[in-house]
A and B are shown apart, each in its own frame.
Chain A
Amino acid sequence: SYELTQPPSVSVSLGQMARITCSGEALPKKYSYWYQQKPGQAPMLVIYRDSERPSGIPERFSGSSSGTMFTLTISGVQAEDEADYYCLSADSSGSYAVFGGGTQLTVL
């Protein structure tokens, strides 16, 4: 079955840049989406269609794609960005969706 691969954890110092990757074979054909989830809360969309930012999401959040890799970049990380991040996409036929395993972002 189709899988999206994320690093389990990423650590970054306050104010620095964080990059979280998501790799999957179908990513060149399918949009990807990124979600932030804080403990005890529902996930929140932070990037859609690879690189679009929903209203209300700070400009420091951006997304990019290259081949089979999709990257969430947080420029100038803030303490409140510490959370789990998940990517979402579909298999190449659009038959089902899959989330990446999630990446825990730690702000030092």
Chain B
Amino acid sequence: EVLLVESGGGLIQPGGSLRLSCTASGFTLSSHWMHWVRQAPGKGLVWLSRISGDGKTRNFADSVKGRLTISRDNAKNTVYLQMNSLRVDDTAVYFCARDLETSSSYYGIDVWGQGTSVTVSS
């Protein structure tokens, strides 16, 4: 069974940093681009970032560029999202997701984790 399990969420003060992890199982992680997507309470989905299977290529949404870093360790079957200078409006559920496409031209998420909740508050 293909599974993605996120961890690392929690309550963090404004200005703080957090690293989220996504552990994959049931497929070969290195063969897939991987994404992070977030959803604020009661709001829609927002794409944040993706990383290529070999970790050499990264793309970011303009709204988070400079504050987020995406990385991966294929040997550990894990993808990471480092978030810095956190703001109250970063409060959201953060989803890790797998891409079904092999071409870098397309963004096609086919598998989602259940998400990890991040609350930024003083």
Which A residues fall within an 8 A CB radius of B?
1, 30-31, 33, 35, 37, 42-45, 48-49, 54, 84, 86, 88-90, 94-102
CA distance A1 to B45 in the complex (A): 16
Decide if B115 touches A42 in the complex (CB within 8 Å).
yes
Contact B110 A45 (CB under 8 A): yes
Q: In the complex, which of the residues B45, B62, B112 contacts A44, with contact meaning CB atoms closer than 8 Å?
A: B112
List residues of B (64-122) whose CB comes within 8 Å of A's CBs: 95, 100-101, 104-115
Partner of B47, one of A48, A49, A84, A98: A98
How many positions in chain B have a CB within 8 Å of any CB in the partner chain?
26
Question: Which residues of B approach A to under 8 Å, CB–CB?
Answer: 35, 37, 44-47, 50, 59-62, 95, 100-101, 104-115
Bound CA span A49–B45, Å: 19
- In the complex, which of the residues B50, B60, B111, B112 has the most CB atoms of chain A within 10 Å of its own CB atom? B112
Q: How far is the CA of A46 from the CA of B102 in the complex (A)?
A: 19
Knowing that A89-B107, A96-B47 touch, tell me 8 more A-B residue pairs with CB under 8 angstroms: A42-B112, A44-B112, A88-B109, A90-B107, A94-B105, A97-B47, A97-B50, A97-B61
Task: Assess the A90–B105 pair: CB atoms within 8 A.
Answer: yes
Residue of A nearest to B113 (CB): A42
